Chains A and B, each alone.
Chain A
Amino acid sequence: MRRAIVLAALLVATPAVAAEGHLVVVAGLGGDPQFRDLFHEQAVALASAAETRFGLAAENVYCLTEKPERDPTTIDQRSTLENLTSVFEKLTARVRPGDRVFVVLIGHGSFRSGEGRFNLPGPDLTPSGLARLLEPLDDQEVVLVSTASASGAFAEPLAGPGRVVVTATKSGQERNQTVFGEHFVTALTTQGADVDKDGRVSILEAYAYTTREVERFYESENRLQTEHARLEDEGQLARRLFLQGEGHGGAEAETASDDPALASLYAARRDLEDQIETLRAGKDEIAPESYAEQLETLLLELALQNESIDAAGGER
């Protein structure tokens, strides 16, 4: 219990300036109306949710699509390479160290002359071109998601420390139209992917949800699966990166309180959660009956602790 109090004190002392989230969502060239509509809808859904649901500051959300006139309130610009470059210039100027930058590319991809491409109106975006745009963001955690066909070609060139790269395909050779995008957007914008029930969807949870749903799609359609998603995550960041902005749920928000009583309850809860995690990690080394008994005890304590937090008017 003494440890919990110390922890609480430390958390209370956390600096007030916290990291912010930024989102750049790009709907590429649709080719035909069906895809143009699809990409537009996915991009707009994501950009809207970022602001309204996840609390990202409006000025931190950039949305570029093929036809910005379809929704001028949400869409900033046409998704050309030139506009994208200019968005990144603005972004680079805004971000602070420790911020999180999410770049989501929705559209068609291709793979020619050994190089992947994300198809934009006008010149395409290549991995090397995107690497140049991301280069200034070395003090930020960057999540790049490409839902395009052949997007696997972007994975290796862009992977690195402080970065999570998610691609719809494992390589540039998987060139068929993908279904990854619609499931990934669904994962981020609904609660179905929140399997640890902390009220937020991490990038890892979204990835797991999407890969499962993609598999299910091909199984139910009785089709050979022509896309196999890929996750590059050197720093194990995907588990703790969320699209949420400040004050929109999550462990940090919950456990920070100016009220010492609440802070103490939060700390006690965190301690119980740590104990549960430790117990789960050692499951294989404990007799099943003992494991079940300890787990139930801890879970009951945790549930009671949350009741106390609720009673004290704490964050859910």
Chain B
Amino acid sequence: MIPRLALVLVATLAGALPAEAQLRGAVIAARSGRYDAAIAAFEDWSTENPDAPAGHRYWAKTLLEIGRYDEAEQVARRLVDGGSPELLNVLGEALAARGRLDEAEDAFSRAIAAEAADALVARVNRGRLRERRGDPRAEADYEALIDAYNARSGLAAEELLAVGVACHQLGPSDPQLYKDALRAFDEAIAADPGDPAPRVARGALYLEKYDSVAARDALKTVLEMNPSHPGALLAMARTMDFDGDQGALALARRALEVAPSRVDTRVWVAEALLELESYEEAIAEAERALETDPSSLEALSVAAGGRYLQGDEAAFGALRDRVLALNPRHADLYNTLAELCVRNRLYEEAVDFAREAVRLDPRSWRGHGTLGVNLLRLGDIEAGRASLEASFAGDPYNVWTKNTLDLLDTFDRYETKRVGRLELFVRQEEAALLEPYVAQVADEALEALEGRYGYRVAEPVRIEVFPSHADFSVRTVGLAGLGALGVCFGRVVAIDSPSARPRGEFNWASTLWHELAHSVTLGLSDHRVPRWLTEGISVYEERRARPGWGDDVNLDFIAAFEREALLPIESLNDGFVRPEGPEQVARSYYQASLVVELIERDYGFEAVRGLLRGYRDRRSTEELFQSLLGLDLDEFDARFQAFVRERFGHAVEAVDVPEGPARRRHRDELVEGADEDPGDFLAQLAAGKALLENRQPEKARPYLERALELFPEYAEGDSPSWLLAQLALEEGDLQTARKHLEAFLAFNETHYDAHLRLASVAEELGDPAAAARWLERALCIDPSEAAVHLRLAELYESLGDTGGVVRARRSVLDLDPVDRPEALYQLARAHWGAGDAAAARRVVLEALELAPRFRRAQALLLELHRARNATEGES
């Protein structure tokens, strides 16, 4: 659309005279972030040049950049009041920033009419102002810039920037214009390489179109030139947030130190705080933004979001009405509300708001996208797909939408099956094997959790199981690479299939239990439970479900406790939403579960339920802790510290985790260290391991036993209990092996081999029931080993558990064995053993259809036939 232009370099102030040199110095100071020096220099220059527009424009622009709008207005008015149209546009910008929209529009219109040097800039500014007010004439203003670009060569840098902005604003109606916008920004940069504005605009556009790498590059260049540039700092904060990097909020706060009145920065900070569920703080930020610009649609929207999340319907309604009074077509009000709801796990509300957004503006691709993704989260796949397709048609750069649509294209390879109140969605090739196990665990979890919490999850409870972690990740967040194993959207739960990850990385059954606990706590609290509490309850409920399930104490937790690095309750959400690192997330899960454990132990389970009901009623954490526990948050934190010390004091005493990587030491040195400090867990463990590696099991044993005594909960792969179990197995001491294996698995839910070994040991010790139990637990890690099902079938046969035999034989068959007739025959026998002659006959005929000469199957068929005849004869 835009013809290629000759490169026009604006030789700004080149060949300067003394006054111009002074001005140049001011501009250089401003562009390098020395704002105070720049402003002082502008003032000095102005004394000698009171009527020169270019310098005053720079001066006013500098003031605008750092949010000193009133001063910018004053500078502009010096010339405007003297009759010059050259500062009218800047005046308009200052007025618009303070929400004085009529005056601003008038100033822009006058600049355009007077054909001021920056009339094109005024044109784009007027367009944006009109767009902000829902005035359809905005489009004509933007189009005028493109016309000007096409008609004229030699546009100045700021004009090229304005053309880029116009193209950007028109992008929703023609996505190709985003490319033109980028080109215009590039030409603006070429025309004036020192001006940060087009680089910031370029970075922001890249980020808007989901290319954070390119955005980062553009912004990095600006911040190298001017580390204090408020716009670049904010855009970089957004970029970091997009990438999930730490420090985004801190960077935005740095931008506010430079420019405290910038509305865009305050609004972003407010949104980030809402994600942290710090509603009051967020609303305060939004209100500060509104002090600067009472008509800021973004600030009003985020304030409305805060009030909505707080449950203050009246304040929310008033703010919403203010936005719509300013611009009745402002779909982004609802987009903001929808996205805030998503961040706070209010998916149904997000759908409602997104629907409202696309009703107000059918070209709100953002709204269509949010609507689509959240319809999927609510289990409405077809409607979700339709919305995503609409979104992608208007915004083909959206990688989330594209990924999700690609994933939806694979959904025909999944099987949807209703089992009681469950709706299971499993890949076809895994469905037969997994569905019975998933249904069994889900039914048990729901029954246990719903009974305990007194809340029934709405039907159907949809459970999606993805054999590819990347697909699970896309289903969850639209992108591959999510670290989680499962996700809960309410009555829709998605998890990794056991085949999605290498064996031993996770326990699918405990993950499912965890997610279904979310279904209950989200539902009971009307989705208002804070993240820390819902995670804490889920982990705690995992631990209650089976010994060994759920997170347990580890070295990192003990070290963090020692360093006093555990987060207080007030900011425990940060550990999930804006963690300092991945280890803080894991630590926060465990910490939150201990908080719940403490509350139940000391205040009863009713207190836990009371918290959930309290959040449902929109009460704050502080208020709830005070009313239910009789403690303020600081008092609770102190109590929690005492609880951790009580529970893990022995480990705290025995564990001294080094800050950096441990120095590699020789075996003798390790042994010596362990002898010198017999109370040091890590020293004992290291010595024991070193001696084991050197094939000195007898020497290793006392060190490992001491380590076990010091920190019995330690359950990593080098746990003393695991190592001692192996020693006992090598010696054939089955009783000791069993003791250590049981101790190990009391804290470890993912060690597949340990489960199998314990099952073997139990079987050898004549305890087939325990053997079967441990094999069933192994299936919770990986159900795809036919040999395990075969062993289970035999164990259940010996125990007379006919149902267990049928299930195990069925699983062997579901694993698609090469010898299918044999598997069918065994299943038929199992059915017959369980008294189900009809099933036995059906299955044995299946076996014989494949292998008519199968003599054992023939014998069974005859047996079944004769039994039927006998029964019929009797009757």
Partner of A195 from the list B818, B845, B848 (CB cut-off 8 Å) is B818
A195 to B857, CA, bound (A): 12
A299 within 8 Å of B (CB atoms) = yes
Are the CB atoms of B862 and A304 closer together than 8 Å? yes
Secondary structure class of chain B's binding surface, majority of residues: helix
A280 to B499, CA, bound (A): 35
By a CB distance below 8 angstroms, the chain A residues around B854 are: 196-197
B820 within 8 Å of A (CB atoms) = yes
Q: Nearest CB to that of A275 among chain B residues?
A: B852
A195 to B502, CA, bound (A): 31
Tell me, rounded to whole Å, the shortest Cβ–Cβ distance linking A316 to chain B.
6
B872 within 8 Å of A (CB atoms) = no
B784 within 8 Å of A (CB atoms) = yes
B821 within 8 Å of A (CB atoms) = yes
If A193-B819, A307-B862 touch, whether A198 touches B853 (CB-CB below 8 Å) is yes
Counting contact residues on chain B (CB < 8 A from A), the size range is 20 to 34
Q: Nearest CB to that of B841 among chain A residues?
A: A296
Chain A 112-147: CB-based contact to B (< 8 A → 1; otherwise 0)? 000000000000000000000000000000000000
A150 to B499, CA, bound (A): 30
Partner of B848 from the list A212, A299, A316 (CB cut-off 8 Å) is A299
Tell me, rounded to whole Å, the shortest Cβ–Cβ distance linking A294 to chain B.
11
A213 to B815, CA, bound (A): 12
By a CB distance below 8 angstroms, the chain B residues around A191 are: 819
A191 to B854, CA, bound (A): 12
By a CB distance below 8 angstroms, the chain A residues around B851 are: 195-198
Chain B 823-864: CB-based contact to A (< 8 A → 1; otherwise 0)? 000000000000000000000010011111111011101100
Q: Nearest CB to that of B819 among chain A residues?
A: A192
Are the CB atoms of B819 and A295 closer together than 8 Å? no
Are the CB atoms of B849 and A280 closer together than 8 Å? yes
Question: Restricting to B793-836, which residues have a CB under 8 Å from any CB of A?
Answer: 816, 818-822
B865 within 8 Å of A (CB atoms) = yes
Question: Restricting to A5-24, which residues have a CB under 8 Å from any CB of B?
Answer: none
If A292-B845, A304-B862 touch, whether A299 touches B820 (CB-CB below 8 Å) is no
If A292-B845, A299-B848, A300-B865 touch, whether A306 touches B818 (CB-CB below 8 Å) is no
Chain A 191-212: CB-based contact to B (< 8 A → 1; otherwise 0)? 1111111110000000011001
Are the CB atoms of A299 and B819 closer together than 8 Å? no
Q: Nearest CB to that of B503 among chain A residues?
A: A220
Partner of A306 from the list B499, B784, B821, B855 (CB cut-off 8 Å) is B855
Are the CB atoms of B853 and A197 closer together than 8 Å? yes
By a CB distance below 8 angstroms, the chain A residues around B849 are: 280, 295, 299
By a CB distance below 8 angstroms, the chain A residues around B820 are: 195
Q: Nearest CB to that of A196 among chain B residues?
A: B851
Tell me, rounded to whole Å, the shortest Cβ–Cβ distance linking B82 to chain A.
76
A299 to B859, CA, bound (A): 11
Tell me, rounded to whole Å, the shortest Cβ–Cβ distance linking B469 to chain A.
11
Are the CB atoms of B852 and A302 closer together than 8 Å? yes
Q: Which of A209, A302, A303 has the most CB of B within 10 A?
A: A303
A304 to B821, CA, bound (A): 19
Are the CB atoms of A273 and B850 closer together than 8 Å? no
Are the CB atoms of A209 and B818 closer together than 8 Å? yes
By a CB distance below 8 angstroms, the chain A residues around B862 are: 300, 303-304, 307
A290 within 8 Å of B (CB atoms) = no
A130 to B850, CA, bound (A): 37
Q: Nearest CB to that of A208 among chain B residues?
A: B818
A307 to B860, CA, bound (A): 12
A303 to B856, CA, bound (A): 10
Q: Which of A212, A292, A299, A307 has the most CB of B within 10 A?
A: A299
Are the CB atoms of B784 and A195 closer together than 8 Å? no
Q: Nearest CB to that of A251 among chain B residues?
A: B853
Tell me, rounded to whole Å, the shortest Cβ–Cβ distance linking B813 to chain A.
13
A57 within 8 Å of B (CB atoms) = no
Question: Restricting to B344-391, which residues have a CB under 8 Å from any CB of A?
Answer: none
A222 within 8 Å of B (CB atoms) = yes
Q: Nearest CB to that of B847 among chain A residues?
A: A197
A315 to B818, CA, bound (A): 27
By a CB distance below 8 angstroms, the chain B residues around A198 are: 851, 853
A49 within 8 Å of B (CB atoms) = no
If A195-B851, A292-B845 touch, whether A303 touches B859 (CB-CB below 8 Å) is yes
By a CB distance below 8 angstroms, the chain B residues around A212 are: 816, 818
A35 to B852, CA, bound (A): 40
Tell me, rounded to whole Å, the shortest Cβ–Cβ distance linking A91 to chain B.
32
If A208-B818, A209-B818, A222-B502 touch, whether A196 touches B861 (CB-CB below 8 Å) is no
Are the CB atoms of A303 and B853 closer together than 8 Å? no
Tell me, rounded to whole Å, the shortest Cβ–Cβ distance linking B848 to chain A.
5
A302 to B862, CA, bound (A): 10
By a CB distance below 8 angstroms, the chain B residues around A219 are: 499
Partner of A197 from the list B502, B821, B845, B861 (CB cut-off 8 Å) is B821
By a CB distance below 8 angstroms, the chain A residues around B865 are: 300
Are the CB atoms of A306 and B819 closer together than 8 Å? no
Are the CB atoms of A303 and B845 closer together than 8 Å? no
A276 within 8 Å of B (CB atoms) = yes
Are the CB atoms of A299 and B861 closer together than 8 Å? yes
Are the CB atoms of B858 and A306 closer together than 8 Å? yes
Are the CB atoms of B861 and A303 closer together than 8 Å? yes
A197 to B499, CA, bound (A): 32
Chain A 19-48: CB-based contact to B (< 8 A → 1; otherwise 0)? 000000000000000000000000000000
Q: Nearest CB to that of B782 among chain A residues?
A: A220
Q: Which of A191, A296, A302, A316 has the most CB of B within 10 A?
A: A296
By a CB distance below 8 angstroms, the chain B residues around A196 are: 821, 850-854
Are the CB atoms of B845 and A273 closer together than 8 Å? no
By a CB distance below 8 angstroms, the chain B residues around A306 are: 855, 858
If A273-B853, A300-B861, A300-B862 touch, whether A213 touches B848 (CB-CB below 8 Å) is no
Are the CB atoms of B818 and A299 closer together than 8 Å? no
Tell me, rounded to whole Å, the shortest Cβ–Cβ distance linking A135 to chain B.
35
Q: Which of B819, B852, B862, B865 has the most CB of A within 10 A?
A: B852
Tell me, rounded to whole Å, the shortest Cβ–Cβ distance linking B783 to chain A.
12
By a CB distance below 8 angstroms, the chain A residues around B858 are: 299, 302-303, 306
Are the CB atoms of A194 and B850 closer together than 8 Å? no
By a CB distance below 8 angstroms, the chain B residues around A199 are: 853
Are the CB atoms of A195 and B855 closer together than 8 Å? no
Tell me, rounded to whole Å, the shortest Cβ–Cβ distance linking B412 to chain A.
22
By a CB distance below 8 angstroms, the chain B residues around A292 are: 845
Give 9 nearest A-B pairs by CB, closest first.
Answer: A197-B854, A303-B858, A197-B851, A209-B818, A196-B851, A198-B853, A299-B848, A303-B862, A276-B852
29 examples of A-B residue contacts, CB within 8 angstroms: A192-B819, A194-B819, A195-B818, A195-B819, A195-B850, A196-B850, A196-B851, A197-B851, A197-B855, A197-B857, A199-B853, A209-B818, A209-B819, A212-B816, A212-B818, A213-B818, A222-B502, A295-B845, A295-B849, A296-B845, A299-B845, A299-B848, A299-B861, A300-B861, A303-B858, A303-B862, A306-B858, A307-B862, A316-B855
Given contacts A195-B820, A300-B861, list 11 more A-B pairs with CB under 8 A.
A191-B819, A195-B818, A195-B819, A196-B853, A197-B822, A273-B853, A292-B845, A299-B845, A303-B858, A306-B855, A306-B858
